[in-house]
Amino acid sequence: MTLLTVDDLVVEHRTPGRPAVRAVAGAGLTVSSGEVVGLVGESGCGKSTLARAVCGLVPATSGNITFQGGPVRPLGLRRRHRSLLGIQMVFQDPYSSLNPRRKIGAQIADGLAVAGDTTTTPADLLERVGLPRGFEGRHPHEFSGGQRQRIAIARALAARPALLIGDEPISALDASAQAKVATLMRELAVSSGAGLLFISHDLSVVRIIADRIAVMYLGKIVETGPTAEVWANPRHPYTKALLGAIPAADGAGHLPAELAGDVPDPADPPGGCRFHPRCPVAMDVCRAKEPDFTPVACWLHEPA
């Protein structure tokens, strides 16, 4: 069952005196219940903005976001609408997403209150994320980065989300904790029947946990597909470059291929296909017209 549909979403950041920056420029995406979707792309490509729009944290300029059949309305001055409490987010930095002055048990209890759950206790949730039950009386500063992120996950799960969003939830963590926390998020989301939208620039982790993968470039989704398929046979030149840049631990001493150039300024994206200035196989049509099809937005893969 499709849980979340993002259709032709545009999000613009406006700063007075400067041209509007199109962080998300017509992106489409779906997440089903029990499914883990990995959203990958270089920093600055708009993946976090997309996640924030799905949560209602930033307003969409145009396009539709549908969650469980209803529209996602941006957060205003009032309480978040009840229908949106089923979307919970785990943020990038567990040092700033937890309140340093409150006990972690109390912060997890907030989530339980949202779900109206009176039988589960914060200690139960700590146990589920692999922390000792007795830690509920402690404050965030007593924990390491990996443990804090586990607490943030416990708090998000306490609200019984139908959709869990992880916005780079592992990038602030120590390298050895990254894979563990990512796998934990997957297990907990899938076992509770929730969908998980997992955003990361770390492709190797996304590969372990995602069922489907969506590759984003400069505000657009350029390729989607089952993870194993995309990995074995990337079709968009950008996906190829992204995967080709991962060095293999084969001992051969091959330096990974460098993708020429920088990500263009999203305030002034190139005309035609957004990737054409960096694309090794750009054709005339790429400079002239934007490829607007799925699952691979590339003129080489135009649907018949």
Q: For residue 197, which of 34, 26, 12 has the smallest C-alpha distance?
A: 34
- Least Å distance, CB 258 to other proteins, is 5
Distance separating alpha carbons of residues 20 and 267, to the nearest angstrom: 6
What is the separation, in whole angstroms, between the first and last Cα of the chain? 28
3-state helix, strand, coil in the chain (%, to 5): 35, 20, 45
- Least Å distance, CB 79 to other proteins, is 35
Please pick, from the candidates 20, 106, 113, 257, the single residue that binds other proteins as defined by CB under 8 A: 257
**Could you tell me which stretch among 68-76, 79-87, 100-108, 167-175 binds other proteins (CB under 8 A)?**
167-175
What is the dihedral angle through the alpha carbons of 91, 93, 97, 100, rounded to the nearest 10 degrees? Answer: 160
Distance separating alpha carbons of residues 224 and 222, to the nearest angstrom: 7
Distance separating alpha carbons of residues 128 and 111, to the nearest angstrom: 15
**Could you tell me which stretch among 9-17, 96-104, 110-118, 246-254 binds other proteins (CB under 8 A)?**
246-254
The yes or no reply on residue 208 touching other proteins (CB under 8 A) is yes
Please pick, from the candidates 13, 207, 287, 301, the single residue that binds other proteins as defined by CB under 8 A: 207
Tokens for 206, please give them.
């996304």
The yes or no reply on residue 187 touching other proteins (CB under 8 A) is no
Distance separating alpha carbons of residues 63 and 12, to the nearest angstrom: 12
The yes or no reply on residue 233 touching other proteins (CB under 8 A) is no
- Least Å distance, CB 163 to other proteins, is 25
The yes or no reply on residue 101 touching other proteins (CB under 8 A) is no
The yes or no reply on residue 281 touching other proteins (CB under 8 A) is no
Distance separating alpha carbons of residues 256 and 203, to the nearest angstrom: 14
Judged by CB, which is closer to other proteins: 41, or 122?
Answer: 41
Judged by CB, which is closer to other proteins: 258, or 268?
Answer: 258
The yes or no reply on residue 226 touching other proteins (CB under 8 A) is no
Distance separating alpha carbons of residues 41 and 214, to the nearest angstrom: 9
The yes or no reply on residue 250 touching other proteins (CB under 8 A) is yes
Q: How many residues contact other proteins, by CB under 8 A?
A: 32
* Binding residues vs other proteins (CB under 8 A): 42-44, 171, 174-177, 201, 203-204, 207-208, 241-242, 245-259, 262-263
